[in-house]
Amino acid sequence: MAGARRSLGVDTMRRVDYWAGVPLCALSTLLLRLVPSRRRAAAPRNVLLIELSEMGSAILADPAMEEMKARGANLHFAIFTQNKASLDLLGTVPEDNIFRIRTDGLGTLLADTLRFLVWSRRKAIDTVIDLELFSRYTALLSGWSGAERVVGFHRFHNEGLYRGEMLTRKVMYNPHIHIARNFFSLVEAAYAAVPDWPPAKMRTPDGELVLKRAEPTPDALARVREKVGRAGWDGRRPLVLVNANASDLLPQRRWPRERFAALIRETLAHRGDALVLLTGAPAERDGLDDLARQVGDPRCVNFAGEIGFKDLVALYHLAVAMVTNDSGPAHFAAVTRMPTIVLFGPETPALYGSLGPSEAVFAGLHCSPCVSAWNHRKTPCADNKCLQAIGVGEVFALLRRHLDAVPAGNCLPPP
């Protein structure tokens, strides 16, 4: 849009978080000891969760949020404005309880930070659960929220990753279990009358790591059917989605573009009635034009920017399957019945796998995964051989099963 302000870059935000965050966390640790006792509550009631930068994590946290709702909590959430749409998919947090933080400049970031201090007190927040992995900025938001309980991941005996001593309940982050289970550890620590040390000596059954299903509205289905119809879909052809993009946060997650082109060509050769849509944001349209040209088949259509985020559930409802890099769409699709095939490299499905009907492809090179909480998800790798090691045939074998389950003349997979 003409005149729109650009968001702060990922590396800029990392530098600000370090160079400003470390001294501010140290100073805040001292100042908060001088502040009178915080708001008292017998049990968590007005609970604020903070997850700013990862849209997928906002989905993965939903089972833990449902657990808190079942315990009677009134949920609130703080998130970057551009990521807020992820909360809309399931609607677990009321609209009026979501605080948005803008990132289109340091001035607006500071202004929204000050607004947050007023908002958290007006909402009478008594418990904050910081879902971020060792962010100094969220530590500052949590510490100055006015809440009695401040729960988050603590470094304990690990070197580096200092973010002050503002947590009232410190939880050990476990890099060997799924992040959704780590989120349950934070909830357990928040509710424990007398927490263990360290907290969360517990186990989360697999049955609790389940997302509720989002169903498309009739209006959304009608809108999407009309737009997909303009791309050549007649309601009877199997619809396959391909997400060949990954966020700027970690571009190493991208499978080579020529592999996607080869996969799509093989898909269209196998099913002459198939239609492949290349999905993505409007800004990704030019890059996907190049992918469509590589495929060289009119049944492969660049669909980037054609529908809004609120209509994704309807699109996923109509599709047979989606092949995607490890990125937000894998988690957005998890709230629908559509199966996904997710390509992992710098991160591992053991920690960040989709909670929906999903199959992960992971080569498991010795160097992979190379990003974690300990390096703020920044890797020196400039040659993602972990994804280059994944062959087209391996991915197509998984996709073929979904294609073969759809009879000719039927646009939907088996229920």
DSSP annotation string for 168-202: SEEEE--TTS-HHHHHHHHHHHHH-SS--SSS---
Residue 213 within any structural domain of the chain: no
Instruction: State pLDDT tens for residues 51-60.
Output: 998 899 999 9
Residue 282 lies in a domain: yes
User: What is the reported pLDDT for 197?
Assistant: 87
The b/e string for 172-188 (b: 16+ C-beta within 10 A; e otherwise) is bbeeeebbbbbbbbbbb
Q: What are 367-395's pLDDT values in tens digits?
A: 999 998 888 888 899 999 999 999 999 99
Strands (E), 41-91: 46-50, 74-80
In a domain, 137, yes or no: yes
Residue 189 and residue 65 share a domain: yes
pLDDT at 42: 77
Structure tokens at 36: 């009178």
pLDDT digits (tens, 9 = 90+) for 241-297: 999 987 666 788 999 999 999 999 999 999 999 999 999 999 899 999 999 999 999
Distance (Å, whole) CA 159 – CA 149: 25
410 has pLDDT over 80:
no
The token pair at 39 is 């708001």
- Asked if residue 295 is part of any domain, the answer here is yes
Closest CA to 374 of 198, 153, 166: 153
Q: Parallel, antiparallel, or unpaired for β 149-154 and 169-172?
A: parallel
For 72, half-sphere exposure in the C-beta direction (CA atoms, 13 angstrom radius) is 5
Q: What is the CATH number of the domain that holds 322?
A: 3.40.50.2000
Q: Are residues 256 and 357 in the same domain?
A: yes
Residue 6 has pLDDT above 60, yes or no: no
Range of the domain at 100: 10-208
CA angle 255, 259, 260 (to 5 degrees): 80
Q: Which of 208, 231, 264 represents a domain boundary (last residue)?
A: 208
Q: Is residue 54 domain-shared with residue 146, that is, in the same domain?
A: yes
Residue from 231, 224, 399 nearest 301 by CA: 231
In a domain, 124, yes or no: yes
Has residue 4 been placed in a domain?
no
- Which whole number is the average pLDDT over 117-141? 96
- 252 with 140, same domain? no
Has residue 415 got a pLDDT over 80?
no
DSSP track, 105-155: -HHHHHHHHHHHHHHHHHTT--EEEE-SSS-HHHHHHHHTS--SEEEEEE-
4 has pLDDT over 50: no
Q: Which of 163, 181, 208 is the last residue of a domain?
A: 208
**Residue 79 sits in the same domain as residue 177:** yes
Q: Does residue 411 form part of some domain? A: no
Residues 71 and 26 in one domain: yes
Dump pLDDT digits (tens) for 53-99. 889 999 999 999 999 999 999 999 999 999 999 999 999 999 999 99
Q: Does a structural domain hold residue 414? A: no
Residues 197 and 232 in one domain: no
> In terms of domains, do 226 and 373 share one?
yes
* Stretch 301-322: mean pLDDT: 95
Residues 350 and 228 in one domain: yes
Give yes or no for a cis peptide into 198 (omega within 30° of 0): yes
Model-level pTM? 0.92
> In the predicted model, is pLDDT for residue 414 greater than 60?
no
What is the number of residues in the chain?
415
Q: Domain boundary at 184, 208, 232, which? A: 208
* pLDDT for position 37: 59
Examine the domain organization and report whether 157 and 23 are in the same domain: yes
Q: How far apart are CA 413 and CA 415, in angstroms?
A: 6
pLDDT of residue 192: 92
76: tokens are 């609130």
* Domains identified in the chain, total number: 2
128/58 same-domain check? yes
Same domain, 66 and 46: yes
Would you say residue 2 has pLDDT above 50? no
Average pLDDT over residues 217-245: 94
